[in-house]
Amino acid sequence: MYSAYGLAIKSDIELPALAHIEPTEPDITIAAATIPADAGGKTKFRNWEAEPERFLSSFFGIGRFLITGGDTIHYDRDAGADDTQIISIILGTALAAAMMQRRILPIHSCSVMTDQGAVLVMGRSGAGKSTMLGGLLALDLPMLADDVTGLDFDNNGQPVAIPGFPAMRLWEDSLTKLGHSTDGLPQVRSDIRKYYVPVENFHTTRARIRAIVHLTVSNETNVRIEPLGDAERVECLSRFIFRKKFIDGMGMRRFAFEQVAKTVNQVPLLRVTRPAVAVEPKRLAQQMLDHIATAEAVSVL
């Protein structure tokens, strides 16, 4: 049994990056299965199809994945696909679809815990989320998630972040630069030099969201930090729902809009524009946290 996103996961395939837990009633069961050709949903979309509570996706040369009811992930492996290929889909696309079915919005962001709540950093692929996360971890802040953070609400209707799992995915190149060896680390894919790196300083429980940051890159020379205007806030957070097209496919657009609107009404959103040239990660992270603290003090956000 494993734990991720606050869920107990029973899996017949070993999931190297996830924490083991004592056997319990599973929230999600992952198992190999024969998925019939007509197992998909009403909305057909090239390599995936969906309907409420049902999602089917085909990955060329890897297999087909059926996610139903928020509690079952079935995979039907193509000949020649190895475990790492199956696992990388399970930990990305399949878990995201299951979270949506459980009414948890997956947000494409890394996140850390500060003394006043979780800070999520969203950004398009390549914007520098991993570097920012590196900077935040160097400040000794516990990690909640490396790539996808769950968004939910507590009993008082306050937005909360749900931690992912205690590992980062890093290229060998980055690991070497950080002075780490790849010895004994599981590979994300057996044929790609990218590894799951365990993160010991991991925050395991859901946490109130203190701020959400949109990280972008520009050719300016200085770091720019500014609050997002009202008109932009819903659009910005919506844009970073991980696998956002699945939302429409599963008939969840209204739900997602409400969750996003509720969140941006309660949580400050700001944009950090970093120069394209390298900025020292720890300094950038500190600059961002200082800005959040200052803005909170004067209630600008």
Partner 1 sequence: MTSAQFDNDRKLIWLASYPKSGNTWLRSLLTAYLLPHDEFDLNAMLGEQDPFDRQQLDDHAGISSADFLPHELIPYQAQLHRDMAQESENWRLIKTHSAYVKADNREPLFPADASAGVIVIVRNPLDIVPSYAHHEGKDNAWVIAHLGNEHAGTDSWRHRSTTMLPQTMSSWSINVESWLSQSEVPILLLRYEDMHRDTEASLTKALRFCAIEIEPGLVTKAVSRCSIDRLRIDEAKKGFNERPSTQRSFFRSGKIGDGAKNLSKDQISMILNDHGRVMEMVGYPANSSIL
Interface residue list for partner 1 (CB under 8 A) = 46-48, 57, 59-61, 88, 92-93, 124-127, 171-174, 188-189, 191-194, 219, 243-246
Q: Residue 61 Cβ, how far from partner 1 at the closest point, in Å?
A: 7
Closer Cβ to partner 1, 109 or 114, answer by number: 109
Closest CA to 28 of 18, 37, 36, 43: 18
Q: Residue 251 Cβ, how far from partner 1 at the closest point, in Å?
A: 16
Give the pairing of strands 167-171 and 192-198. Answer: antiparallel
Beta-strand (E) ranges in 154-255?
159-162, 167-171, 187-189, 192-198, 207-218, 224-227
Closest CA to 266 of 205, 207, 206, 211: 211
Closer Cβ to partner 1, 2 or 55, answer by number: 55
Q: Residue 271 Cβ, how far from partner 1 at the closest point, in Å?
A: 17
In eight-state DSSP terms, residue 41 is: -
Nearest-angstrom CA–CA distance, 229 and 270? 9
Closer Cβ to partner 1, 114 or 131, answer by number: 131
Nearest-angstrom CA–CA distance, 77 and 65? 9
Q: Residue 48 Cβ, how far from partner 1 at the closest point, in Å?
A: 5
Closer Cβ to partner 1, 176 or 266, answer by number: 176
Nearest-angstrom CA–CA distance, 56 and 80? 20
Between the CA of residue 212 and those of 9, 35, 42, 83, 224, what are the distances in Å?
A: 28, 39, 34, 35, 16
Greatest C-alpha distance within the chain: 60
Closer Cβ to partner 1, 42 or 193, answer by number: 193
Which residue in the block uniquely carries the two structure tokens 């996808």?
A: 148
Q: Which residues pair with 149 in a beta bridge?
A: 107
Q: Residue 55 Cβ, how far from partner 1 at the closest point, in Å?
A: 9
Q: Which residues pair with 223 in a beta bridge?
A: none
Closer Cβ to partner 1, 93 or 259, answer by number: 93
Q: Residue 94 Cβ, how far from partner 1 at the closest point, in Å?
A: 10
Closer Cβ to partner 1, 61 or 229, answer by number: 61
Q: Residue 187 Cβ, how far from partner 1 at the closest point, in Å?
A: 11
